[in-house]
Structure 1
Amino acid sequence: MGRSWCSWNGIMSLFPFYIFLEMAVVMVCAAVNSTEQAKLSAPRNIYMNSTNMKHYLYWDPILNDEGTVNFSVRVQGEYERSYMYKVWTSADGCQSITARWCNVTDEIATNVWYELQVRAELGSQKSDWATIGQPFNRNSSVLTPPAVKFQSSEPPLTLEIEYLGPNFVFIVFYWKKGNEDKVVSKKMYRGATMFHLENVEGGNEYCAQVIAHAVPISRNSSKSTEVCATAKRSGLSPLTTGLISLFGIIVGLALLCVLLRNLVLVMRYSCYPQRKIPDTLKEPFSSQKIMRHHFLEDCEKITSIEPSNQIIYKIIGQDCSAKTQLL
């Protein structure tokens, strides 16, 4: 009897210890629960949507009664993962954003596998980083054909192509309706969106299709929807147009010749100005004419002497007449 009393007393003495232990466990559990409630849940259902070399990361929204939840995105390429100790790069323009998507086209710059992560943020609270289900490679981007339409029906026909970005070039296929076996293919320059069909005949219908080629990944889209247009006839026949063109060429050449002639004359008179040539130089035997003119002037002077010198005048006069006859 005394022995059982001692055992009961021993159990009763340990009762306060059990109570203290239970209270400590309850407090620890409460602290853990409050911490879990304070921490934001990480974003879920993270996936990529890539079309025509434009890459977008999406995730499900997070609802919270305390306020608006923001999100931040980071990216890790194969080089960073293998050679830079798994360094992550923050996605430009996708830090503390309220949207549930992010354009990561600039971050996906090479044909390697990328890891992407998203984190939720609310004030000082931050969730864990949530990783995309599987790494992303831009080679998997879905390529769709561009929208195509004829801008004008005037020859030459002009084809307008939807702009898909600087990474694309277009390959155009066109043919005359009824001659589908004679398809012409042309590769456009990078960035060009307007194409003029060559050798278009007025009054005929032409059709075209376009393929988009993604240069960074060397892949083609499927062909675009077939579009057709009828080229308008010119108001003049080909023969009339040719004659008018020939006449215009002739008139142009004539005007060019006149212009060149005037130009040569201007240059000639500028370098060698025109001067009036004396009459004596224009006739033959000019030297004899000059001598004759000289002696005639002397004889005219002699005829004006005084009467007292009549004898000298006669002698000189005879000499002048003899010289004049000689000349």
Structure 2
Amino acid sequence: MRTLCWLPALLALLHTMPPGSHSVLPAPTNVKIHSYNLKQVLKWDPVKVENVTYNVTYRVGYNAFYDNDIHSICENITETQCDFPEEIKVFWRVKLRVRAELGELKSNWAETPIFQATRNTTIGPVKSLTLTSSKEDHNSLYVSFLPPFSSIPQQLDLRYNLSYWKASSGLKKPLEETQKTSIKLTGLEAGTRYCVQVNSFTPNLDGQISGAVCETTTAAVLTTAGYIALFVSVITVFIAALVCLFLIHKYSPVIKRWLNPPCRIPLHIEQYLQDPDLHVCVQESENKPVLEDQYDLVSIVETEFFQSTSAMQTFPEDSSQSAEKT
């Protein structure tokens, strides 16, 4: 029934073909190679022919750098994709092509640019990244992971970059590039949480960075000798504190002079502090208005006058009698 459906359309197409032409079907479009972790697949858009779209099949082939022959890898497929076979090595430089077919009708080849997996693939993040601590080693963490793909070609030269940081700071510290998938981080702080990220790369490609994985280093556990050392340290610090307190109490005046050197106060303030009343008197005298000089008049009397006066005082009765006589 399906053959009978597309047979009339095929006959109509054959009648419209130019003499000697074998291509009346449109070639596939949007032909691309999708490569992830060295797994390649060729994809394209379907070719549509009126009334017979579901009967169009496709043929995929390739030619390598060492010859011009077209090697077929997918034939008479109706899907619009074709996986690369293992015969195409990841370091080969190849060109893929696809065409549509409908019975005797064939389209032109649609080709891809030259492709080399070791240069054109997308490298994903590493797998199974783990970060573990050790009870014996309090300053270390162990990092382990798996490559992005199980089989690593020798020609790929896959390497890894690793960075770690304290979860509290976020400041990343990179390590030197390595080919190892198991690494020991040393010189860490005990009882501290660290995070790690890894990304793979080749001389031509950078892989996708992994998600961060975090782990806490084990806290240091004191042994008997450690407890003794801690006890001695505490006692030493306590005794030293007591000695310091005793010296501070004994030499507090000297310490005060060292810490607070004496300040020289102005002379007039010092006098005021010694005798406040004197300062008030001085201030009042300064505020009192200046008066003119005051003096008494003194007269000089002759000596005879003083003598007669004194004689009169000595003999008052005689003086009164002589006066009466007069």
Q: Normalising TM by the smaller chain, what interval?
A: 0.3 to 0.5
Q: TM-score, normalised by structure 2?
A: 0.47
Highest Rg: 1 or 2?
Answer: 2
Q: TM-score, normalised by structure 1?
A: 0.47
Higher helix share: 1
